[in-house]
Structure 1
Amino acid sequence: MLTGLSIRDVVLIEALDLEFGAGLDVLTGETGAGKSILLDALGLALGARGDSGLVRHGAGQAVVTATFDPPSPDLAAMLDENGVEVEPGEPLLIRRVVKSDGGSRGFVNSQPASAGLLRELAPYLVEIHGQHDDRGLLNPRGHRALLDAFGRVRPEETARAWERLRAAEGKLAAARAEIEAAARDREWLEHAVDELTRLAPEPGEEEALADKRRGMQRAEKIAGELETVADCLEGSNGGISCLRQAARVLERVGEDHPALAEALAAVDRAIIECAAAEDKLREARVALAYDPRELEADEARLFDLRGMARKHRVQPDDLAALAEELSGRLQRLEAGEEGIGKLEAQVAAARAEYDKAADALSERRRAAAARLDDAVAGELPPLKLDAARFRTNVAPASPDNWSGAGKDRVEFEIATNPGAPFAPLAKIASGGELSRFLLALKVSLAEQGGAATMIFDEIDRGVGGAVASAIGERLARLAERTQLLVVTHSPQVAARGDRHFLIAKASDGTVTRTSVRVLPENERREEIARMLSGATVTDEARAQAGRLLEAA
């Protein structure tokens, strides 16, 4: 709900601070007093084009601040998605600044906001109904949702069926695309699978082969050195043989001197160590022994693996997975028609399910449309639209426009004269008729809610007497559920207001200003009397004004 509107330097308004409450707020004033300026100022705060012509002459900038009740959960979520922080329970402040050079800035709770974001906020906050409004009830894009809300038609089952259909169609399309791509490359695919099958790569094989090859190449390099060591240790002239010969000589003479016995013990130890070295050398030669043919085979295998990896632009360790993937593609291609058939059957089943749910939804909409048509028809005669007809056109949408909300295109249409064809609201109704049609429709839809604040701009234009009374009575009924701001020329409508704002224009000879103030009860009767009688207020007009206020 709109709780306050602060205006600075907008056209003829120098400074203005207004407070609004629940119920029906009426705005009156003489023609040309500037009633439209208030709506222009509010529109500016809600993202309308920031025209420099709105800046009061001589001022550097115009500023409008609109204050609303704390945002609803849906609105708070939308603000959060756009990076605007809102404290729970705190009012929503929207401010728009327009400079005299045409530049503008927007703010939501002191945080910068684009004009586009302000326009996104507007439908959550205010509905403006009038002949120049191209949103709300005049926009066919919202008619289906309004009808569903009126008829309590819930499309959830259809939405679930639509999601299942879309998922099935997606799988079918992906399978067809894969088969088509595979079919184009079938010859290459068969050749690649054959090559990889014959190669039979294994994960980690390339690294294992490389390590083994490095070991054999190293063994090839040190084979000569090992032979030299063996020659030094083994054989009749080797080190061990000489040590054993020396030991035998020392055994014969060892008793002749203690040092010879010690020498013999040392030689025995050397023999033992040399024998151990001989064993280790033999073990190493066995371990490092290689078959040149095996080295050649491993090198050829390694070459084949790396060459295949380069060919397919993968790592050698990924060849096994690639072989499995390409084999799967080939198998799916060969069994493709059977798989496609199954997916086509799934799509057909999902489409039948969606058709059933959407058709049932259409039936419920047509039933709701008939009830809405009856409700609106009952509102038209008191509004002097008894020759007009209203209908909710529920028609099939093109398949391209089917969705989780069903297959229907919904549009509100009217025929203003007997025998005249039905057409969209905005195209055939005059300004006054259109406003009254919108009022009838809004009253019929009242229980379904909408924005917390609704504005009707001169809805009573061109009517008076009983029709104006009927309009006032319906506005009062609407105001029981939501806040209404009504710009009116009708005393019958003004008398229904919970608060009465008077808009006046005054000039001191050099500067013209527009002012707005809330009228106390005695001044309110005087204003309604002026609306009844014109420039000269008569006692009879005052008496009539009193009766209107009492009747309200």
Structure 2
Amino acid sequence: MLTHLSIRDVVLIEKLDLGFSPGLTVLTGETGAGKSILLDSLGLTLGERASGGLVRAGAAQAAVSASFEVPSAHPVHDLLAEQGIRLDDPDEPILLRRIVTADARSRAYLNDQPIGVALLRRIGALLVEIQGQHEQMGLADQSTHLDLLDAFGVDPALRNAVARTYRSWIEAVAALTTARAEMETAAREEEWLRQSVEELATLAPRENEEDDLAALRAGLQQSERRGEAIAAALAELTPRDRRAAGPAAALRAAARALGRLLPAPLDPGSAQTASPQQARAQDALTALEKAEEALAEAETMLSRLASDSDSDPRTLEETEERLFALRAAARKHGVAVPELPELLASMQARLAALDSGNARIAQLEARARDTRAAFETEATHLSAARETAARRLEAAVTAELRPVKLERARFLVSLLPLDPEAWTIRGREQAAFLIAANPGQPPGPLAKVASGGELSRLMLALKVVLAGRSPVATLVFDEVDSGVGGATASAIGDRLHQVARDVQVLVVTHSPQVAARGETHLRVSKYLRQGRTETLAEILSPAARREEIARMLAGDTVTDAARAAADSLLGTDEHA
């Protein structure tokens, strides 16, 4: 419910802070005192259109905030969650704030978080309903009528069954639509699909194969380079031309040539010794013989290395061919090589779906028919319950029309069948509350047929019947008693008081009979301060309230008789 309204620089109001209590609050005051300014200010916090004309003369901007106590289970919390707005505590008050500048620009806030005006309007619609002479919010909105009718007299289990079967039907239709689209797409590309599957199946890509092949290729390339180095070394030791002398032959030739320069070996018993030159020649010959032996050993070792090498040019060639084939296939299909196995599986599944598509389509068509039939069965039960509830609601509202001076009016609940494409999770029809304000007049929508005062009284009658069946916890009636008085005004006051047992009610009234029924009485008045007219609103004490009701009864001059009549009205209120 609304707990606090703060207004700054709106038209004639410079600064005003009002607290509100549960039950019925009446707002009174002379015509032009500024009661409409209070409602316009509240409307700003509920997302109504902003105008620069609302800004008080000389002020740069107007600001209004409204605080609401909302239970944690209230639908507004679902709306906030849907919009990604979280409150620190679900039970903390909701503070709606609107700032309007003189050039009609506006900003909206929820608990100091900036929000859009469209969201503000949705939030406001869940918190407050305003029924006025010139504008109605809430019951005049036909989109709310079906839910109100169901809340009035339809078993929730019927609605739940319809919602459940509707979701199943929609899911089945969606699956069928998707399958048909996939079937059509697959049929258009069947030839390409079969060719691609054949190519990929022949290629048979394996998981992680690219990495394995790349590693194997690198190893084979390294082995090949090692074999080439060994072969090159052997080639240097072994001439390609057999007639050419290699290093070994050159060493042997050098040894023979040097040997011819040396004398025959000396007799061991001879006293003759070799000359120094002969000794050095002998050392050189010995070195040549060792070099020949070392060269032979090196050649042997290189030959063994060549025979032990695992270099296989054919294996390397096959590895590269496989790797390049995988990469070419990946480029062709626009995927990475590791994705080729998954692509093949996907294409095979599409082919399988194409091959078995007709059977699957038939199954999905049967499921769609069955789920639609289930929905229609449950919707038929719901429609019958709604028809019964509609007649009961008509009777209940009609009984409330006579006391509020609408005895000649007829209230009707129309259930309009929807075309199948317009069926929803709520069923196969929409509801509309209609009114024929006078005999012989055809019934029409509430907001178009009834006058402002008639519409407000009709809304009051509806609220009496539907009290407690809407999540909206604050109702505002603007001059619901316009054009009536006496017993009718008393009846309106009684019904406002009755509705206020379930929800908070604020009513702007010129009727003393209605004012006397309020639990809280706010008087709106104008006064001059420093040459400027300002609007003030104050909660009246019991004595001030008696005087205000007497003024409403007598006019400008309050008489003792008027005070006595006020006491009578208030006494009636006190002993009700």
Q: Which TM-score bucket, shorter chain as reference?
A: 0.7 to 0.9
Q: Tell me which residue corresponds to 1:164.
A: 168
Instruction: Give the counterpart of 1:528 among 519, 533, 549.
Output: 549
Matching of residues 428-443 of structure 1 within 5 Å = 428-443=449-464
**Paired residues of 1:153 and 1:365 also in contact (CA < 8 A):** no
**Paired residues of 1:128 and 1:455 also in contact (CA < 8 A):** yes
Q: Tell me which residue corresponds to 1:401.
A: 422
Matching of residues 467-478 of structure 1 within 5 Å = 467-478=488-499
Counterpart of 2:444, as a letter, is A
* Bigger radius of gyration: 2
The alignment's TM-score, normalised by the length of structure 1, stands at 0.85
Q: Tell me which residue corresponds to 1:228.
A: 235
Classify the secondary structure of the residue corresponding to 1:448: coil
Q: Does structure 1 residue 288 correspond to structure 2 residue 311?
A: yes
Structure 1, 157-166 or 58-67: larger mean CA deviation: 58-67
Q: Does structure 1 residue 185 correspond to structure 2 residue 189?
A: yes
In structure 2, relative to structure 1, the CA distance for the partners of 1:182 and 1:106 (3 Å cut) is: closer
Classify the secondary structure of the residue corresponding to 1:138: coil
**Paired residues of 2:457 and 2:480 also in contact (CA < 8 A):** yes
CA distance in 1, matches of 2:203, 2:530: 102
Q: Does structure 1 residue 109 correspond to structure 2 residue 130?
A: no
Between the two proteins, what is the percent identity of the paired residues?
A: 47
Classify the secondary structure of the residue corresponding to 2:468: helix
Q: Residue 514 of structure 1: CA displacement? A: 2.2
Q: Tell me which residue corresponds to 1:121.
A: 123
In structure 2, relative to structure 1, the CA distance for the partners of 1:226 and 1:167 (3 Å cut) is: farther
CA distance in 2, matches of 1:494, 1:271: 129
CA distance in 2, matches of 1:379, 1:422: 18
In structure 2, relative to structure 1, the CA distance for the partners of 1:290 and 1:419 (3 Å cut) is: same
CA distance in 2, matches of 1:295, 1:102: 79
Q: Residue 439 of structure 1: CA displacement? A: 0.5
Counterpart of 1:529, as a letter, is A
CA distance in 2, matches of 1:18, 1:295: 90
Instruction: Give the counterpart of 1:411 among 412, 415, 432.
Output: 432
Q: Residue 13 of structure 1: CA displacement? A: 2.2
CA distance in 2, matches of 1:102, 1:443: 38
Instruction: Give the counterpart of 1:130 among 129, 132, 135.
Output: 132
Structure 1, 157-166 or 193-202: larger mean CA deviation: 193-202
Q: Residue 37 of structure 1: CA displacement? A: 1.1
Q: Tell me which residue corresponds to 1:75.
A: 76
Counterpart of 2:184, as a letter, is E
Q: Tell me which residue corresponds to 1:498.
A: 519
Q: Unmatched 5+ residue regions in structure 2?
A: 253-267, 269-291
**Paired residues of 2:468 and 2:503 also in contact (CA < 8 A):** no
CA distance in 2, matches of 1:298, 1:518: 94
Matching of residues 315-394 of structure 1 within 5 Å = 315-394=336-415
Q: Does structure 1 residue 55 correspond to structure 2 residue 76?
A: no
Q: Does structure 1 residue 34 correspond to structure 2 residue 41?
A: no
Q: Tell me which residue corresponds to 1:46.
A: 46
CA distance in 2, matches of 1:300, 1:10: 83
Counterpart of 1:136, as a letter, is G
CA distance in 2, matches of 1:495, 1:476: 10
CA distance in 2, matches of 1:533, 1:45: 36
Classify the secondary structure of the residue corresponding to 2:368: helix
Structure 1, 329-338 or 91-100: larger mean CA deviation: 91-100
CA distance in 2, matches of 1:148, 1:10: 40
**Paired residues of 1:219 and 1:290 also in contact (CA < 8 A):** no
Structure 1, 410-419 or 110-119: larger mean CA deviation: 110-119
The alignment's TM-score, normalised by the length of structure 2, stands at 0.81
In structure 2, relative to structure 1, the CA distance for the partners of 1:317 and 1:64 (3 Å cut) is: closer
In structure 2, relative to structure 1, the CA distance for the partners of 1:201 and 1:100 (3 Å cut) is: closer
Structure 1, 56-65 or 389-398: larger mean CA deviation: 56-65
CA distance in 2, matches of 1:64, 1:23: 23
Matching of residues 191-210 of structure 1 within 5 Å = 191-205=195-209
Matching of residues 247-286 of structure 1 within 5 Å = 279-284=304-309
Deviations 1:288-327 (A, max 9, x none): 2445xx7666665555444433322233444443333223
Deviations 1:509-530 (A, max 9, x none): 9432222222222332232222
Deviations 1:484-520 (A, max 9, x none): 1110111111111112222222347943222222222
CA distance in 1, matches of 2:131, 2:143: 16
CA distance in 1, matches of 2:116, 2:343: 51
In structure 2, relative to structure 1, the CA distance for the partners of 1:179 and 1:529 (3 Å cut) is: same
In structure 2, relative to structure 1, the CA distance for the partners of 1:467 and 1:333 (3 Å cut) is: same
Q: Residue 281 of structure 1: CA displacement? A: 3.7
**Paired residues of 2:434 and 2:446 also in contact (CA < 8 A):** yes
